[in-house]
């Protein structure tokens, strides 16, 4: 829960808006925003898309989830030697 509170507070401060301003946009009380930022409660899951859209971040970013490492996509039924070079050493 710590990560979410820090991210919401940081995003709000970067946008230079108060808790009441964010609360008005989301249709919640400023006390709710305060509780999120202090780690007392979490935003309702149905609010996450609205919060993410308002701050122009993904829900994953909002929750502090780091993306999985990028892997090269290999199409199905591809038997090209180039796709396997150096990858069979671990087998």
Does residue 28 form part of some domain? yes
Does residue 52 form part of some domain? yes
* Cβ 64 vs Cβ 3: under 8 Å: yes
Does residue 71 form part of some domain? no
Q: For 61, list phi and psi in degrees, rounded to 5.
A: -65, -40
Does residue 72 form part of some domain? no
Does residue 78 form part of some domain? no
pLDDT in tens, 4-36: 677 899 999 999 999 999 999 999 999 999 999
Q: For the domain that residue 45 is a member of, what is the CATH number?
A: 1.10.260.40
Band of residue 90 on the pLDDT scale cut at 50, 70, 90:
low
Does residue 7 form part of some domain? yes
Distance of CA 45 to the CA centre of its chain: 12
Number of domains in the chain: 1
Domain that holds residue 26: 2-62
* H/E segment holding residue 46: none
């Amino acid at each position: 829960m710590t990560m979410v509170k820090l991210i919401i507070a940081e995003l709000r401060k970067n946008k230079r808006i108060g808790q009441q301003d964010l609360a008005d946009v989301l249709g919640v009380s400023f006390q709710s925003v305060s509780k999120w930022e202090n780690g007392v409660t979490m935003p309702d899951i149905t609010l996450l898309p609205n919060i993410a859209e308002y701050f122009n971040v993904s829900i994953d970013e909002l929750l502090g989830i780091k993306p999985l490492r990028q892997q090269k996509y290999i199409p199905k039924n591809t038997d090209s030697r180039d796709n396997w070079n150096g990858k069979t050493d671990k087998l």
